[in-house]
């Protein structure tokens, strides 16, 4: 039977979370009326774990031997897992699931049924943000009717995160872009890479991915981001490379990836201002902006139009405002 979808899970010391992530897929398989297990491939890629991740994943492999594959590799980070998965994947479509996140079982089954008849290059779905206190549906495409769209004529608002994307595997492979090893935030680079390789999308309003934000030490936690701000900056410039590689006639793709870039740049500026009161960090932030504007001319002007608050970061008064903004941001994020 042809595998419709490959789900890739990067697992590094995630023993205690696999019962939720793999358990959510198991719930979809066990409640399905048709042979969902035969149409699905799950790649659990153990990235050099030192806990019981391999053993815990092995329990699910025993239950679904024809669906779940366990791959062990040397620890080289999230990007290396995706690179390996794209070599191994047998599914027509490709989707990510972090080992500490989940799928909504009902939404996942609907996605699988959609993919069986999908002629577009990707399916874009909302996702659910689980704060541990409440669940919020994040649907930046709510203004669009569900259906098929050409990417170059589609106006998409908001940042398209990997949680929302299910992409045709061959479209990812044709981009010929390898993600960096031992670097955080490569999931955002993956999303930009995917957008470079597709020409059409099906927009759905059924949530599939549940993004859990209640685990301490996550890479998206602002404290973690401050500590890894140079990795975040590295990914920004790699996405710049993807952006400038696009043909100028591919206006839809360029607009969407520019939207990704603008959000990341704004976050990066906040990280610089949160990092330290040291004048050196302020100087680094200015150099970052200069390098960025050289790589993608006009990106700073676009950023100021998108969010007027950025004017504080780039104004002549910024050296004076720097301590004030530093304390305001630290108070805002309780860092």
pLDDT of residue 35 exceeding 80, the answer is yes
Separation of alpha carbons 248 and 252, rounded Å:
10
| Residue whose structure tokens are 């035969």 | 38
In the 8-state DSSP scheme, what is residue 133? S
- For residue 158, the model assigns a pLDDT of 67
- Number of alpha carbons in the 13 Å side-chain half-sphere of residue 125: 25
- For residue 212, the model assigns a pLDDT of 95
Separation of alpha carbons 152 and 117, rounded Å:
22
- For residue 31, the model assigns a pLDDT of 92
- For residue 157, the model assigns a pLDDT of 61
pLDDT digits (tens, 9 = 90+) for 138-149: 998 898 999 999
In the 8-state DSSP scheme, what is residue 206? S
pLDDT of residue 104 exceeding 70, the answer is yes
pLDDT digits (tens, 9 = 90+) for 182-224: 999 999 999 999 999 999 999 999 999 999 998 877 888 899 9
Mean pLDDT over the full length of the chain: 93
Provide the pLDDT confidence category of residue 156 given band limits of 50, 70 and 90.
low
Q: Are 83 and 177 in contact (CB under 8 A)?
A: no
Q: What is the DSSP string of 34-79?
A: S-HHHHEEEEEEEES-SSSHHHHHHHHHHH-TTTEEEEEE----HH
3-state SS, residue 167: strand
The least confident of 73-77, 165-169, 325-329 is 325-329
Domain boundaries, the chain: 5-212, 222-333
CATH architecture type of domain 5-212: Alpha-Beta Complex (3.90)
Provide the pLDDT confidence category of residue 16 given band limits of 50, 70 and 90.
very high
pLDDT of residue 154 exceeding 80, the answer is no
What pTM was estimated for this model as a whole? 0.95
pLDDT digits (tens, 9 = 90+) for 291-313: 999 999 988 888 888 778 788 78
Separation of alpha carbons 204 and 148, rounded Å:
9
Separation of alpha carbons 237 and 327, rounded Å:
28
3-state SS, residue 32: coil
**Backbone torsions φ then ψ of 226, nearest 5 degrees:** -60, -40
Separation of alpha carbons 235 and 202, rounded Å:
27
| Residue whose structure tokens are 């399905």 | 32
266: left (phi over 0), alpha (psi -120 to 50) or beta: alpha
- For residue 316, the model assigns a pLDDT of 82
């Amino acid at each position: 039977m042809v595998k419709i979808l490959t789900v890739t899970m990067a697992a590094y010391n995630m023993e205690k979370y696999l019962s939720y992530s793999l358990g959510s897929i198991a719930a979809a398989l066990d409640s399905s009326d048709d042979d969902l297990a035969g149409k699905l491939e799950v790649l659990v890629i153990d990235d050099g774990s030192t806990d019981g991740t391999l053993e815990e994943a092995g329990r699910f492999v025993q239950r679904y031997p024809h669906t779940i594959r366990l791959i062990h590799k040397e620890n080289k980070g999230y990007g290396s897992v995706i690179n390996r998965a794209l070599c191994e994947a047998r599914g027509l479509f490709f989707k990510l699931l972090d080992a500490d996140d989940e799928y909504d079982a009902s939404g996942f089954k609907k996605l699988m049924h959609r993919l069986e008849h999908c002629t577009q290059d990707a399916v874009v779905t909302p996702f659910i943000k689980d704060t541990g206190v409440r669940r919020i549906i994040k649907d930046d495409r709510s203004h669009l009717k569900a259906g098929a769209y050409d990417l170059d004529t589609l106006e998409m608002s908001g940042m398209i995160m990997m949680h929302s994307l299910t992409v045709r595997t061959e479209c990812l492979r044709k981009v010929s872009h390898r993600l960096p090893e031992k670097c955080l935030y490569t999931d955002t680079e993956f999303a930009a890479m995917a957008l470079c390789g597709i020409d059409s999308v099906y927009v759905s309003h059924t949530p599939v991915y549940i993004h859990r934000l209640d685990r301490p030490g996550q890479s998206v936690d602002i404290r973690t981001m401050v500590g890894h701000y140079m990795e975040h900056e590295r990914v920004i410039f790699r996405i710049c490379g993807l952006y400038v590689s696009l043909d100028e006639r591919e206006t839809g793709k360029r607009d969407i990836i520019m939207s990704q870039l603008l959000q990341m740049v704004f976050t990066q500026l906040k990280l610089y201002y949160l990092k330290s009161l040291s004048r050196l960090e302020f100087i680094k932030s200015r150099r970052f902006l200069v390098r960025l504007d050289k790589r993608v001319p006009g990106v700073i002007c676009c950023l100021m139009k998108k969010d007027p608050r950025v004017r504080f970061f780039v104004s002549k008064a910024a050296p004076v405002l720097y301590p004030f903004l530093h304390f305001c941001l630290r108070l805002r994020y309780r860092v």
